[in-house]
Structure 1
Amino acid sequence: MSQSALSSAPVKTAGVALRESPSARERFADAVEKSWRPVALLVACFVAWWVIAAMELVEPYLVPSPGKTFEVILDKPDYLWQHSWVTTYETLIGFVVAVAIGVLAAVVMVYSTTVEKTLYPILLFAQVVPKIAIAPLFVVWLGFGIAPKIVIAVLIAFFPVVISMVTGLKAVDPEMLQLSSTMGASPWQTFVKIRFPASLPHLFSGLKVAVTLAVTGAVVGEFVGANEGLGYVILQANGNLDTPMLFAGLLVMSLIGVVLFVIVELAEKLLLPWHASRRESGVTTAF
């Protein structure tokens, strides 16, 4: 047998079986298997919504029919798009700032026990304070512009980023840290080569939570004081008893959160193909 054939032949290990990469048909079947339950639940919710509206179990001015809600979305796409873009922009800026500050704070807390003992109670206190209660203060301090919405989005999205990053940095195998120290690696090299890559699965778990909370934060800021954004649309519709527009704003806001969540999850799949939860091929034990 030639050298190239030997190098390409799979290595067999006792008790271990290689699992081949799934075919396109298998991947499609797996995607259907994973998605049909949430899709079925979503359809059931819409059917229940339609039944409640059609049978007038609740007054139409309280719960509009799905048809009227989607009719509003189709009749005013430019209006909803304009306000949706404002909310999305505030969400993205707040999310990026929260990630930057959260990761930096987590690194400092992990490498300094004094900072962790000092900062952690303050972070916990800031998290339990209702953001809707302090939102008017930011409007008074920062005005009615975009700044208070971004600040509230940062405050809401900040905590899950910090907690997940701290957990990931502390979850590194101590033997790996001892090995890197024995081999003469500097603290920076240990962080870049070992600690940070090992923390990424935990970090992305926090990012998926944070990006959806950032949408809520932006909308909460718009509730308090704004003349644009989905929070403004929902507030105006509520004041005018325009429930179809109110439900349309809620649906679009939910869609923004879902899309951003999916984007973060796709980024996780692209950046962490080595993580066990993302492997589509590999080895499985035979016993």
Structure 2
Amino acid sequence: MTGTRPERRPSEESVEASPTTVPATPPVAGRWRGTRPANVGLPLLGVVIALAFWWLVTSGLGLVHPVSLPPPQDVWDSLTLSRGVLLPALGITTLMTVLGFLISTVAGVLIGMTLAASRRAERMFAPLLVAVNAVPKIALGPLLVVSFGWGEKPILTMVFLLCFFPIVLSTATGLTTTPADLAELARSLNASWWQSFRKVRFPAALPQVFVGLKVAMPLAAIGAVIGEFYSDKPGLGYQILQYNGVGDTATAWAAIVLIAAMSIALYSALSFVERLALPWVRATTAR
């Protein structure tokens, strides 16, 4: 017998199983809105606490002689009076730090890739890299001047010697610890070595690579300052020696404060690049 089919009313189970149409707030945007004040306020609070402690041990309680550690107000006055010398020196030191860091990044990543690609090369050269990293770099300063002369080469070499090892180690570690499920996926798709490296191994190693880069960035600033101790480039390291030699410790400490501020700015810039290059890392972590 034919006839019209009776209209079915959706059951409660089907209604509950149907997808909701209420738009959800994007988690990334909510996270940014929730943490932006903390990203600015907490570092400023840390700076305020450090300055208060500095003032307390110098001016408040007088625990440290002003010749050894001037109070923050004296350092600020010296920075204001000598800004015509210190700010150009800051530009020179920043340039040397960034150039040396970029050279170390390229060389460190390539060396790390070589060690990860060949176990024989790792066994052959890893002890030499450890030995080079263990040499006190400040002892090499006069030798670098003798070998390369005055100018930028000793500074860039010092930066390279100080910060290339963490980059090599993090790159090699990241490339040799590819997650097993990703490696199996590449094999199941019959990917070539280059395809597997470009699509799977290197992207999976990037978080480790950035760990090495963030360790190396402050070391690059240290290397630039040490290199300027033995160079004729009038950077902040050179100015520290000059002002300390004439007993103007307040201005020397002003140069040290500028070095610290430069390191914080460069480290923050590198962290920003990491967030742009690796958006999935922030999205898949609990923080």
* TM-score, scaled to structure 1: 0.85
Aligned residues: 265
1:150-183 deviations in Å (ceiling 9; x for gaps):
0010111101101111111112123422332332
- In 2, Cα distance between the equivalents of 1:233 and 1:283? 43
Deviates more, 1:147-156 or 1:166-175: 166-175
Query: Which runs of structure 1 show a deviation greater than 4 angstroms over 4 or more consecutive aligned residues?
Result: 34-38
Q: CA deviation at 1:37?
A: 4.5
CA contact (8 A) 2:82 2:251 kept: no
SS at match of 2:96: helix
* TM-score, scaled to structure 2: 0.85
* Corresponding residue number in structure 2 for 1:216: 222
Matched, 1:237 2:212: no
- In 1, Cα distance between the equivalents of 2:29 and 2:99? 39
Equivalent position to 2:32, from 27, 33, 36: 27
Deviates more, 1:77-86 or 1:158-167: 77-86
Equivalent position to 1:68, from 58, 68, 74: 74
CA contact (8 A) 1:19 1:283 kept: no
Equivalent position to 1:143, from 139, 149, 156: 149
Q: Percent identity?
A: 34
1:172-226 deviations in Å (ceiling 9; x for gaps):
1234223323322111111100011101111111111111110000101111233
SS at match of 1:274: helix
- In 2, Cα distance between the equivalents of 1:164 and 1:101? 13
SS at match of 2:27: coil
* Corresponding residue number in structure 2 for 1:41: 46
1:90-109 deviations in Å (ceiling 9; x for gaps):
11111011010111111111
Of the two structures, which has the highest relative contact order with CA contacts closer than 8 Å and spacing of 6 or more? 1
* Corresponding residue number in structure 2 for 1:249: 255
Deviates more, 1:192-201 or 1:70-79: 70-79
- In structure 1, the gaps of 5 or more residues are 1-8, 12-17
* Corresponding residue number in structure 1 for 2:192: 186
Equivalent position to 1:85, from 84, 87, 91: 91
* Corresponding residue number in structure 2 for 1:15: none
CA contact (8 A) 1:233 1:249 kept: yes
Q: Which has the larger radius of gyration?
A: 2
